[in-house]
């Protein structure tokens, strides 16, 4: 009986360690105006785990395996950030993350249109 409990305890311990997961939370704001960035994308690099920010700029990415990861944050018109995070069991609070504008330049384009010159209406 003692051997059964020891074996059962060992296997349950291994399962608990193997399935330990954590989460990352925080909020994202504009660097200059301190306004919340609504709908900013976040994902864990190399994993299929991500989230978007809420109406107040807050986020929570859950079910992240424990270990070293890189959190990638992107928002249209802002510089993409990559933040290294160490996930342990529980929640890692990153606090307030400030994002700055990214200068995006477009190349010059020409729009040319042609119409029929000699056109008669019946």
How does residue 3 score in pLDDT terms, banded at 50, 70 and 90?
Answer: low
> Which class for 112: exposed (0-12), middle (13-18), buried (19 or more C-beta within 10 A)?
exposed
Report domain extents, the chain.
21-99
pLDDT digits (tens, 9 = 90+) for 31-90: 999 999 999 999 999 888 999 999 999 999 999 999 999 999 999 989 999 999 999 888
Residue 57 to residue 72: CA distance in whole angstroms: 15
The CATH code of the domain at 21-99 is 2.60.40.1120
Q: What's the mean pLDDT in 18-25?
A: 80
Question: What tokens does 118 get?
Answer: 């000699």
Residue 46, Cβ neighbours under 10 Å: how many?
A: 9
Residue 46 to residue 25: CA distance in whole angstroms: 19
> Above 50 in pLDDT, residue 9?
no
């Amino acid at each position: 009986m003692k051997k059964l409990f020891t074996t059962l305890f060992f296997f349950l311990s291994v399962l608990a360690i193997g399935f330990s997961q954590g989460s990352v939370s925080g909020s994202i704001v504009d660097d200059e105006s301190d306004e919340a960035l609504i709908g900013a994308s976040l994902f864990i690099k190399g994993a299929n785990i991500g989230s978007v920010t809420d109406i107040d700029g807050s986020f929570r990415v859950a079910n992240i395996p424990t270990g070293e990861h890189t959190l990638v944050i992107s928002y249209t018109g802002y510089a993409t950030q990559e933040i290294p995070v160490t996930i342990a069991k529980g929640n890692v609070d990153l606090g307030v993350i400030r994002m700055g504008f990214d200068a995006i330049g477009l190349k010059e384009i020409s729009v040319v249109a042609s119409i029929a010159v000699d056109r008669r209406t019946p």
